[in-house]
A and B are shown apart, each in its own frame.
Chain A
Amino acid sequence: MNQGTPQPRVDRFRGHRFSAYFVAPVFFALAAWFWFGPELETLPEANDTSVHASLLSTEPHRTILGDPPRVHVNGFDRTCMECHRLFQSEEAKTQKLLQHEHIRMEHGPNVDCYICHDAEDRDQLTLGNGVTTKFTDVVSLCARCHPSIVDDWKLGSHGRTNGYWSADRGEVRKLVCTECHDPHAPRTPAMSKIEPLPAPNGWRQGNPAPDHHDSHGHKRDPLREALRRASEHHESHDK
């Protein structure tokens, strides 16, 4: 470096020690601002986006009939045969949906009850040629016409599994066909047209692009009526 050359240059920085009378007031003013000054910026609003627990039910869509099938009619708990043994005439067999008007038959060409129900033993389903099976074994019945879907179901790729992923650890509850599909109108399962749960509503997401409007042209509101639906859902769920 400069080996201490004995020719000191004039250092222009040298001079007055800057008056504390100027520095200190600035600092004190700044301190006052920090202490009393207003909040310049507020955090963005964060909506609570919880949805009601009832919307997150893991129950099957439909409750299936057991063995023997029990139905609730006019406050009585009956198996099918408890009534149907009274209507065993040939006439009654061909009668159209006397007590079962609510049934909507939309199962392709299957308009005749006895394609699936056993005509003699109403507590059983028929697999044809006089072979019957229980209501709980509805899969065997469906497999007669939909073998590939049932294959997928067995494989696991079609249908729901709840509970445990390994039978070693607990019940692997594979839902059967009619726990999702209405056997009388299977193409429109209970979840075919449902209202989606709220869209994401993160912070600072900017202005939604034009396509972030719903089909009615309303600006999206992720929390629209989530609670209303939660309460309604309760009633409509277990039909």
Chain B
Amino acid sequence: MRDYGRFLWRCARISFVGDWRYHTWMLTLSVIALLGLNAYAKQLVDGLATTGMTDQVSWGLYIANFTFLVGMAAAAVMLVIPVYVYGKHEMHELVVFAELLAVAAIVMCLLFVTVDLGRPDRFLHLFQRFNFPISMLTWDVVVLNGYLLLNMHICGYLIYCAYKKRKPGKWFYYPFVIVAIGWAISIHTVTAFLYVGLGGRPFWNSAIIVPKFLASAFAAGPAFIMLTLQLIRYFTDHKVPQGAIRLLQNIVTVALTIDLFLLGSELFTEFYADSHHISSLVYLWFGKDGYHALVPWIWTSVAMSVTALLIFYLPTKRSMFFVNIACVLLIVGIWIEKGMGLVIPAFVPSPLGEIVEYVPTLNETLVCFGIWAFGLMIYTIFVRITIPVLSGQLTHDRIYHTEVATDSATHPPTEGSLS
């Protein structure tokens, strides 16, 4: 236990250590996170009136980001499956990075849900009268926190073992990995059920949303991991096999294809039947009664996704440059689709046919940026800690040099020099 405490202490210290690029990055994120904190403090005082939400559009950017990030978290499984189910062991170490991303994403999810609450001071009520299993939101609470714990356990255990130079005990993590695979699918499925279970919102009340959620998540998530791995490769000397990135590229290609196929099916069904239910779709894609705030967004999103898909199918797929562009395009495209394309249009027109548009305020945008910055910050710290541990530079019996050469020359490499 004392060892574990020292391990955490060293982790905490190392997260402050880095070169100027690391510090600039972290400083920028801190500033943005603090701006978000400030904006949230304003929201606590004035209420959700500081957001652009109304009784008509009662969920906005917060829930949209939440939904997108659940997908990101679930996408970690796309690295786990190849390793643990198909035995691609050369990617074993990369799994930790994907699962750490899941941890950071879930933390962001929980923050986004928290800032969306009108009375966050009452969150304890969840423990006192938990409407499980009736309310899908309680399912979401269970699966998200469960997934967070699973991944924290798996990552924490593997990293700690590396730190202790112990061989990880299979029984201490393998069953959890297998459970986490199913669990990852479940978090995004349950999140989709949040929406599709509402009979009063025809725009959501469609079973195809569930597979579409998974497909879009398994495109955006691995794309994000691809970019992350390349950044790790660029900034550190951690070995990231090109094969892993290419494998992810294939996964992204397939998932994005399925996503767009499902989108096409959905659009055909709704528009060809042309029933009353398509009001929200008409509003989203073409505008309705002179209101068309979302139209440019959704077309941008589709254009981005289609461009990405083309890059993945044309010879450009061989160039990492183009592939990275495609990744960025599809991440942004899917992010737009989750927010402007899925959450908000279901509220327009309202169930009584009233059209009230939603425009996010500066304050809620700052809160969103703040949470993203905070999430990226903890992910950076995770990676910062993990890399020296995995590479054997930071172990229980080895001192990691954190001071500059001149400093370490003056001070012998003892425990003290860690600080």
Contact = CB atoms under 8 A, between A and B. Distances in A.
B357 A3 contact: no
Given A1-B158, A41-B362, A9 B393 contact: yes
A142 to B, nearest CB: 38
Contacts of A12: 19, 235-237
Interface of B: 16-20, 22-24, 27, 30-31, 34-35, 38, 46, 49-50, 52, 54-56, 92-93, 158-159, 161-162, 165, 167-168, 235-238, 289-291, 355-357, 359, 361-363, 384, 387-388, 390-393, 395, 401-404
Nearest to B236: A12
Contact of A2 (B23, B359, B391): B391
B290 A13 contact: no
A239 interface: no
Contact of B17 (A7, A9, A13, A41): A13
Contacts of A1: 92-93, 158-159, 161-162, 168, 390
Given A18-B20, A26-B31, A40-B362, 6 more contacts: A1-B161, A6-B392, A13-B22, A15-B20, A18-B24, A209-B290
Contacts of B24: 18
B280 to A, nearest CB: 16
Contact of B22 (A8, A18, A40, A210): A18
Interface in A117-160: none
Contacts of B18: 13-15, 18
Nearest to B363: A41
Nearest to B234: A12
Contacts of A5: 391-392
A34 B37 CA distance: 11
Contact of B167 (A3, A7, A10, A34): A3
- Which 4 pairs of residues, A with B, have the shortest CB-CB distance? A18-B23, A15-B19, A1-B162, A4-B165
B168 A30 contact: no
Contacts of A206: 291, 355-357, 359
Interface residues of A, number: 35
Contacts of B393: 8-9, 11
Interface in A1-54: 1-18, 22-23, 26-27, 30, 34, 40-41, 43-44
A107 B385 CA distance: 92
B237 A9 contact: yes
A94 interface: no
Nearest to B405: A15
Contacts of B162: 1-2, 4
Contacts of B55: 202
Given A1-B390, A4-B392, A6-B392, A34 B50 contact: no
B64 to A, nearest CB: 17
A8 B361 contact: no
Contacts of B46: 43
A17 B158 CA distance: 28
A204 interface: yes
B333 to A, nearest CB: 26
Contact of B391 (A11, A16, A17, A18): A11
A37 to B, nearest CB: 9
B93 A2 contact: yes
A201 to B, nearest CB: 12
Given A5-B392, A18-B23, A41-B363, A11 B387 contact: yes
B54 A203 contact: yes
Contacts of A41: 50, 361-363
B56 to A, nearest CB: 8
Contacts of A43: 46, 49-50
Nearest to A46: B49
Contacts of B395: 4
B165 A30 contact: no
Contacts of B167: 3
A12 B388 CA distance: 10
A236 interface: no
Q: Among A3, A23, A202, A204, which residue has the most Cβ atoms of chain B within 10 A?
A: A204
A209 to B, nearest CB: 6
B58 to A, nearest CB: 12
Contacts of A10: 237
Interface in A193-210: 202-206, 209-210
A204 B54 CA distance: 7
Contacts of B56: 202
Contacts of B237: 9-12
A2 B55 CA distance: 54
Contact of A209 (B235, B289, B362): B289
Interface-centre pick from B46, B55, B167 (highest chain A CB count, 10 A):
B55
14 contacts: A1-B93, A1-B158, A1-B168, A4-B165, A9-B393, A13-B17, A13-B19, A13-B387, A14-B18, A16-B20, A40-B363, A41-B361, A41-B363, A206-B359
Nearest to A13: B18
Contact of B54 (A3, A23, A202): A202
B19 A16 contact: yes
